[in-house]
Amino acid sequence: MSAETYQRAERFLSWNLSSAVLNNDVIHHWVPGEEMLWYRRATEKGWAFVLADAVSREKSPAFDHARLAEALSAASGEPVDDQHLAVASISSSGTALQRVTTEGESSFSCTLDEYRCEKLEKPAQAPPGLVSPDGTYRVVLKEHNLWVASPSQSEPSALTTDGNAGAPWSTRTESSTFVLAQRRLGEQVVPVGLFSPTGNRLLTYRLNHGSVPELAVLQNVVEGTNLRPVVHQYRYPFPGGEQPTAELAVFELDSGRRISIAHESVSATYMDPVTKGYVFWNDSGESLFLLNHDPTFRKLSLFEIDADTGAVRTLITENREATVWASPMFPAEPLLRVLGSGDLVWPSERDGSLHLYLYGRNGKLKHRLTSGNIVVREIVRVDETRGLLYFTAGGGVKGQDPYYRQLHVVGLDGRKQQLLTRDDSDHAFRTPPSRLTLMFNPSAGGADSFAFSESGSMLVDSYSRPDRPTVTVIRSADGKPVLELETASLGSAVAADHNPPEPFEVLAADGETQLYGSLFKPSTFDSARTYPVVDSIYPGPQIARVSKRFMGDFFDAQAVAELGFIVVAVDGRGTPLRSAAFRERSYGNLGLAGSLDDHLAAIRELARTRPYMDLGRVGIYGTSGGGFATVRAMLDYPDFYKVGVASAGNHDLEMYVALWGEYFEGPFDAESYARADSYVNAAQLKGKLLMAHGDMDDNVHPAHTMRVVDALIRNNKDFDLLIMPNVDHGISRNPYFIRRQWDYLVTHLMGMQPPAGYSITPVAAAPR
């Protein structure tokens, strides 16, 4: 195989596509009090800033780019390119944009009437901490305790004194899979907490994890001259063992008073309740609301907490025979809202699909809000003034892919539910970022970037599908298009080679259930040829594998296809975003690996009408849960899958983080958990299997892969193994691993020689 083929495939890696696809993700900013917004438009040469007026239905340059560049050059003494202006914000006076603020090493504020720029003084670098909304208080961690500073204090004062290594305050659980990376990088830890709307109170917790056994990873290659491997230890709970918990408390920051919460400590096995959005304030700051599962995850309750006394009362309780879900995927903030009236919007699968219900502040059901053969996906806006709730849902249009989100509106009285969009596409609307999103990206969208304008009369919709470019448009609140902002396009680096994926619909192995997926072909596709087939798998059960967005496939299926494969991605039964029954096929049956029998059925059905698919040469690859599924496929279906590449697989349910098994498999049971292990049929391996793992993976410990190695050795099986020093759970983004994965598929599935020593070019921000 030629190096040119690898080069073409490399252009379709996700980190290269992010810059090669223009205007696929338009981030807008509403002008306060106006039906007008501005945004940055990408071009082949750079970018330009656009003002869009929803009333006049016109677009225009937000300012004179050349004049602004000239003004910035004069102020900075450095040449400024008008195609790469680093605009951070644009302020307005009424409908007129009047001032631009830039970002970078030096920041400037520039008027848009006279185009004069002044350098902004950089604020003093404050120590990392949790800052109240008005900037009055800064809370920091010192030796497991909280300290608080205010403008009236020259030095921070201790807020707590009872924290210790086994019970630290406001600290993320060590099984969150990134705490170890923080330690290795020497990052200062910011406390976890939630300020009240007034900013004078802080909800936080003390993490009780002293009894959780430690796990260790061995850093075999240490930078510098130290030849001794380093052991890194962290507390990591297994199913059925001791679990970390969070003891909630509220602090009055002006007085330092601690208000204990009269509720037992809540689970913090993978994430604390603050990070995952399971605790929040009401608008007045007088009450807190806590959403909490019982230890089996089969009961979910909502509690109201009096912020003055810490008293707790139960409002709503939901029970199921399987895990109770409050959001369509995991982890995600629950579809729960507390209204200004005190009423509660509550999510429930009680009728078999995720819907919304309205409860009074007394915890009594008032009425159902949403109905129909749909699955609610997001709450986009609650307009209490007009008595309306806007939401997205899948499955609302007959004959359409049920994963495509459409916009709906319903009255808060539960009446007049309407479908506002029905294009055969997936509709996305910007909503307030979750705390989980903000944890990784603190600047992820302010209020001016939400879908709806301030008045609620207009909203921005970005609709897309795998085989059609994203269109971003302003709509009126009744769903009618008002003004198209942008249509995504491909830059010259990939435009000539792009062969869009083919969405498909097939039957599951039961012969009844509809499944949906995407089929990827190389840009050099020739229907007269035959191609090996590769299953690109991630079995959930917490997220769906198949992207419904244009160029949105995170698993690099198109890059693999460019090597000369037909790549299939499908969501089998046991995965989310459909009915509860569809998802719960995997509950108590994680060993089904997202219904591998459905993958076989899908590939066979596709091949019946596509003679170019060679079912004598079928491979599979995946990482994390996909690595688990890859090994399971190679062992359970050895006559179908001939080649597999499994990276960072969580192969042993009993030694993966407790939440995973207890949430998706059920309460710990040694026999059922053992059935889910991916190596139970190690004696059945026939094909070529490459396993890879990073030795610093603190999410899925390297022992998972070594247990598969042990089972294969005991059964005298041949296999290949790649252990990568100083690589964590992000192995699938590692350029060297990607090249080795490609080489393995090309060599053993295609029967060709890969280009010797090919090197994939990383980017500065490429994961380790």
**DSSP secondary structure string, 457-508?**
SEEEEEEEETTEEEEEEEEETTS-EEEEEEE-EE-HHHHTT----EEEEEE-
Please say whether the beta carbons of 595 and 585 come within 8 A: yes
Helices 735-745 and 3-10 pack at an angle, to 10 degrees, of 130
Number of domains in the chain: 2
- d(Cα 422, Cα 665) in Å, to the nearest integer? 36
Residue 38, domain member (yes or no)? yes
Does 9 share its domain with 98? Answer: no
Range of the domain at 30: 24-124
Q: What pLDDT score was predicted for residue 183?
A: 84
Does 694 share its domain with 642? Answer: yes
Does 9 share its domain with 51? Answer: no
CATH number at residue 620: 3.40.50.1820
Q: What pLDDT score was predicted for residue 331?
A: 84
Task: Choose among 196, 188, 194, 193: nearest CA to 207.
Answer: 193
Q: Which long-range contacts (CB under 8 A, 24 or more apart) does 397-404 make?
A: 397/422, 397/424, 400/424, 401/465, 401/503, 401/505, 401/516, 401/548, 402/375, 402/516, 402/577, 402/578, 403/516, 403/544, 403/546, 403/548, 403/571, 403/577, 404/465, 404/548
Residue 723, domain member (yes or no)? yes
H-state helical runs in 310-458: 435-440
- d(Cα 20, Cα 315) in Å, to the nearest integer? 50
Please say whether the beta carbons of 726 and 219 come within 8 A: yes
C-alpha distances (whole Å) from 723 to each of 479, 706, 709, 736 are 52, 10, 12, 12
Task: Choose among 583, 534, 586, 575: nearest CA to 558.
Answer: 534
Please say whether the beta carbons of 233 and 214 come within 8 A: yes
Residue 288, domain member (yes or no)? no
Q: What pLDDT score was predicted for residue 704?
A: 98
- d(Cα 442, Cα 398) in Å, to the nearest integer? 39
SS3 88: strand
Which domain-ending residue is among 97, 124, 151? Answer: 124
Q: What pLDDT score was predicted for residue 435?
A: 56
Residue 648, domain member (yes or no)? yes
Does 9 share its domain with 88? Answer: no
Does 672 share its domain with 631? Answer: yes
Does 61 share its domain with 7? Answer: no
Two structure tokens written together for 546? 């198949």
Residue 169, domain member (yes or no)? no
Task: Choose among 688, 689, 571: nearest CA to 627.
Answer: 689
Q: What pLDDT score was predicted for residue 766?
A: 39
Residue 299, domain member (yes or no)? no
Task: Choose among 309, 253, 250, 304: nearest CA to 282.
Answer: 304
Paired residues of 723 in beta bridges? 693
**DSSP secondary structure string, 30-86?**
EPTTSSEEEEEEE-SS-EEEEEEETTTTEEEESS-HHHHHHHHHHHHSS---TTS--
Please say whether the beta carbons of 139 and 148 come within 8 A: yes
Which domain-ending residue is among 61, 94, 124? Answer: 124
- d(Cα 47, Cα 33) in Å, to the nearest integer? 26
Which domain-ending residue is among 99, 124, 149? Answer: 124
- d(Cα 491, Cα 746) in Å, to the nearest integer? 28
| Amino acid found at 767 | P
- d(Cα 747, Cα 665) in Å, to the nearest integer? 37
Please say whether the beta carbons of 704 and 651 come within 8 A: yes
Regions of the chain where pLDDT drops below 50: 765-768
Please say whether the beta carbons of 703 and 658 come within 8 A: no
Does 64 share its domain with 7? Answer: no
Q: What pLDDT score was predicted for residue 223?
A: 81
Residue 568, domain member (yes or no)? yes
The residue to which tokens 């951070």 are assigned: 88
Two structure tokens written together for 564? 């000369």
Q: What pLDDT score was predicted for residue 433?
A: 67
- d(Cα 361, Cα 763) in Å, to the nearest integer? 51
H-state helical runs in 354-414: none
Neighbours of 304 (CB within 10 A): 20
Q: What pLDDT score was predicted for residue 765?
A: 43
Does 35 share its domain with 113? Answer: yes
SS3 744: helix
Please say whether the beta carbons of 323 and 542 come within 8 A: no
Q: What is the pLDDT of residues 690-721, one digit of tens each?
A: 999 999 999 999 999 999 999 999 999 999 99
Dihedral (Cα; 448, 454, 459, 461), 10-degree rounding: 20
- d(Cα 532, Cα 674) in Å, to the nearest integer? 33
CA 741 to chain CA centroid, nearest Å: 24
- d(Cα 756, Cα 737) in Å, to the nearest integer? 15
Does 7 share its domain with 69? Answer: no
Mean pLDDT for all residues in the chain? 94
Who contacts 566 (Cβ-Cβ below 8 Å, separation ≥6)? 519, 520, 521, 531, 532, 533, 534, 610, 612, 613
Does 720 share its domain with 682? Answer: yes
pLDDT over 70 percentage in the chain: 97
Does 11 share its domain with 32? Answer: no
Who contacts 742 (Cβ-Cβ below 8 Å, separation ≥6)? 6, 9, 560, 563, 754
Does 617 share its domain with 692? Answer: yes
Two structure tokens written together for 238? 């297994």
201-208 and 245-252 beta bridge pairing = antiparallel
Residue 176, domain member (yes or no)? no
Paired residues of 35 in beta bridges? none
Dihedral (Cα; 250, 256, 257, 259), 10-degree rounding: 10
258-260 and 245-252 beta bridge pairing = antiparallel
130-131 and 138-142 beta bridge pairing = antiparallel
- d(Cα 77, Cα 70) in Å, to the nearest integer? 10
